[in-house]
Amino acid sequence: MGCSALFLPYFTSTPRLGYIATMTKIDQIAHAAAKLNDDQLDGVLAYAQLLACEPVYANVPDEVKESIERGIAERDAGLGATATDVFARLQSKIDAAGA
């Protein structure tokens, strides 16, 4: 992150600084993007597209949302298993089936 990014909220909200303060957010993005290489621009574009998308959660059926909420509640209650434990059990089953 460039040093100017640290102060961007201050500059954009301070009218006495003139040009920067009068830039729209799109102008500010374009100004910053002009300094990026193609790989960085790909990352910015992918992130912007992600932000612009409607969350998947909003489009799933109610029963799926309820299942997700149950899973979160079970995890919060300490009833879940770590990925390490799950994969270890799975590997044991794979090893046993191959024996």
Q: For 20-62, how does the pLDDT look when each residue is reduced to its tens digit (9 = 90+)?
A: 567 899 999 999 999 999 999 999 999 999 888 888 888 889 9
Residue 97 burial (C-beta neighbours within 10 Å; 0-12, 13-18, 19+): exposed
Do 40 and 67 fall within a single domain? no
Higher pLDDT, 41 or 11: 41
pLDDT at residue 2, rounded to an integer: 46
Do 48 and 63 fall within a single domain? no
d(CA 29, CA 8): 11
Pull the structure tokens for residue 65: 């949302």
Please give the full DSSP string across 36-59, using - where no structure is assigned: S-HHHHHHHHHHHHHHHSPPGGGG
Task: Give per-residue pLDDT as tens, 80-89.
Answer: 888 999 999 9
Do 48 and 76 fall within a single domain? no
Helix (H) or strand (E) holding 19: helix 19-22
- The DSSP symbol for 60 reads S
d(CA 36, CA 21): 22
Do 33 and 62 fall within a single domain? no
Question: How many domains is the chain built from?
Answer: 2
pLDDT at residue 21, rounded to an integer: 65
- Does position 18 have pLDDT exceeding 70, yes or no? no
Do 17 and 37 fall within a single domain? yes
Do 66 and 43 fall within a single domain? no
Do 32 and 66 fall within a single domain? no
Where in the sequence is the domain holding 20, given as residue range(s)? 3-52
Radius of gyration, alpha carbons of the chain: 24
- Does position 66 have pLDDT exceeding 50, yes or no? yes
Do 41 and 62 fall within a single domain? no
d(CA 1, CA 44): 13
Do 12 and 32 fall within a single domain? yes
